[in-house]
């Protein structure tokens, strides 16, 4: 007080400095509460990794922290999206209530989000834009809170492959064929492989990770004594699988006649479009 009475300018500067410090403290508290994790909120650690297929469904399930005493009851769970460093609440779920309390993103998610119970949420008809980080904030009695994060990656369904075979040459007893497996759409995250039946084991090739060649070409030398042999092209990604299978007998094998009998004006090269079929079941999602 004595300092202010002796120098009013110094007193004013000191008051302004104190007010600025208080304002910065308030702003910092607001930023932390809307950031990755609010102050005083326990974090579950590494996000749960989830994979989904475009058009399918995905389930989010909250697991109660074993560190919480049994007598501490759950009051609500706030489901939201983490965008950059901000946690934006989407909806609240309360024990004993069948209908959630929407806060944000209602137009985007209301028809696709289903609350199965207090700890389980399902999103239907997934889109590629649904990929991202989600957070379930559990609020317990006695003011305790706990965050569980989920990282969702939505993939396109694996494309249906197409197979084309080119008959290069036909000699007595032998048939030389080039088989191509092609896909439409993006090749990102695709794995393409060949499976064979009735052919030498060394012909069968395993998965080729990374961006898949398009088309993937396989050269096959067949004896005409293998009429029942077949090739299957398998195209898969993290969540889905499609196949195309075709027997090779009708490509090479109209008998062991001379090459001249199978020739054409283009130099003896024949083309055969192979049929396609989708795998009976997708991979486990």
- pLDDT of amino acid 174: 81
Residues 135 and 223 grouped into a single domain: no
Residue 9 belongs to a domain:
no
In a domain, 284, yes or no: no
Percent of the chain with pLDDT over 90: 34
Most confident of 9-18, 148-157, 239-248: 148-157
What pLDDT does 236 receive? 92
Q: Are residues 130 and 205 in the same domain?
A: no
Q: Do residues 129 and 64 both lie within one domain?
A: yes
Alpha-carbon torsion (19, 24, 30, 33), positive or negative: negative
Q: Which pTM does this prediction carry?
A: 0.65
Which residue segment(s) compose the domain that 63 sits in?
42-155
Across 11-15, 145-149, 173-177, least confident range: 11-15
Is residue 204 domain-shared with residue 257, that is, in the same domain? yes
Per-residue confidence band for 209, with pLDDT thresholds at 50, 70 and 90: low
**Residue 32 in this model has a pLDDT that exceeds 50:** no
Residue 166's pLDDT is what? 84
150 and 245, same domain (yes or no): no
- Residue 172 pLDDT class (50, 70, 90 cuts): confident
Q: Find out whether 138 and 148 touch, Cβ atoms under 8 Å.
A: yes
pLDDT at position 154 over 90: yes
How far, in Å, are 22, 30, 39, 152 from residue 25 at the CA level?
A: 5, 9, 13, 35
Kindly tell me if the per-residue pLDDT of 82 is higher than 70: yes
| Pair 261, 171 in one domain | yes
Q: Is residue 63 part of a domain?
A: yes
Q: Is residue 227 part of a domain?
A: yes
Q: If we measure between CA atoms, which residue out of 156, 159, 136 comes closest to residue 59?
A: 136
Shared-domain flag, residues 46 and 145: yes
Question: Does pLDDT of 269 surpass 90?
Answer: no
Are 132 and 166 in the same domain?
no
Integer angstrom CA distances of residue 226 from 51, 96, 179, 197, 231: 42, 66, 16, 10, 12
pLDDT over 80 at 260, yes or no: no
Domain endpoint, select from 108, 124, 155 = 155
Decide which of 174 and 257 is more confident.
174
Mean pLDDT in residue range 84-98 = 91
- Domain containing 205 — which CATH number? 2.60.40.10
**Position 251 in a domain:** yes
In a domain, 265, yes or no: yes
What's the rounded Cα separation, in Å, for the pair 249 and 107? 56
> Would residue 169 count as lying in a domain?
yes
Among 173, 166, 80, smallest CA distance to 121 is for: 80
Indicate the number of domains in the chain. Answer: 2
| Cα–chain center distance at 186 | 14
Domain's final residue, options 123, 155, 187: 155
- pLDDT higher than 90, residue 105: yes
- Structural domain contains residue 82: yes
Q: How does pLDDT run across 222-236, given as a tens digit for each residue?
A: 777 766 788 899 999
Last residue of a domain, one of 105, 131, 155: 155
Average pLDDT over every residue of 259-267: 34
Average pLDDT over residues 45-68: 91
Do both 146 and 214 map to the same domain? no
């Amino acid at each position: 007080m004595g300092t202010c009475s002796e120098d009013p300018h110094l007193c004013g500067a000191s008051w302004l400095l104190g007010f600025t410090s208080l304002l910065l403290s308030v702003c910092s508290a607001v930023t932390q509460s809307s950031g990755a994790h609010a102050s005083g909120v326990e974090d579950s650690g590494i996000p749960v990794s989830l994979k989904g297929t475009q058009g399918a469904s995905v389930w989010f399930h909250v697991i109660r922290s074993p560190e919480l005493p049994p007598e501490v009851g759950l009051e609500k769970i706030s489901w939201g999206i983490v965008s950059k460093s901000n946690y934006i609440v989407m909806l609240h779920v309360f024990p004993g209530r069948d209908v959630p309390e929407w806060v944000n993103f209602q137009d985007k998610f209301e028809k696709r989000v289903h609350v199965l119970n207090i700890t389980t949420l399902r999103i239907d008809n997934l889109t590629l834009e649904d990929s991202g980080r989600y957070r379930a904030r559990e609020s317990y009695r006695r003011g305790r809170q706990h965050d569980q994060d989920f990282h969702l990656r939505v993939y396109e369904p694996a494309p249906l492959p197409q197979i084309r075979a080119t008959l290069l040459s036909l000699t007595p007893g032998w048939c030389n064929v080039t088989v191509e497996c092609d896909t439409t759409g993006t090749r990102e995250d695709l794995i393409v492989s060949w499976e064979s039946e009735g052919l030498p084991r060394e012909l069968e090739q395993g998965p080729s990770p990374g961006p898949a060649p398009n088309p993937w070409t396989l050269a096959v030398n067949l004896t005409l004594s293998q009429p029942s042999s077949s090739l299957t092209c398998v195209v898969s990604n993290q969540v889905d699988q499609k196949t195309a299978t075709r027997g090779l007998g009708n490509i090479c094998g109209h008998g062991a006649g001379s090459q001249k009998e199978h020739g054409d004006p283009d130099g003896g090269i024949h083309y055969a479009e192979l049929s396609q079929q989708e795998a009976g079941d997708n991979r486990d999602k």
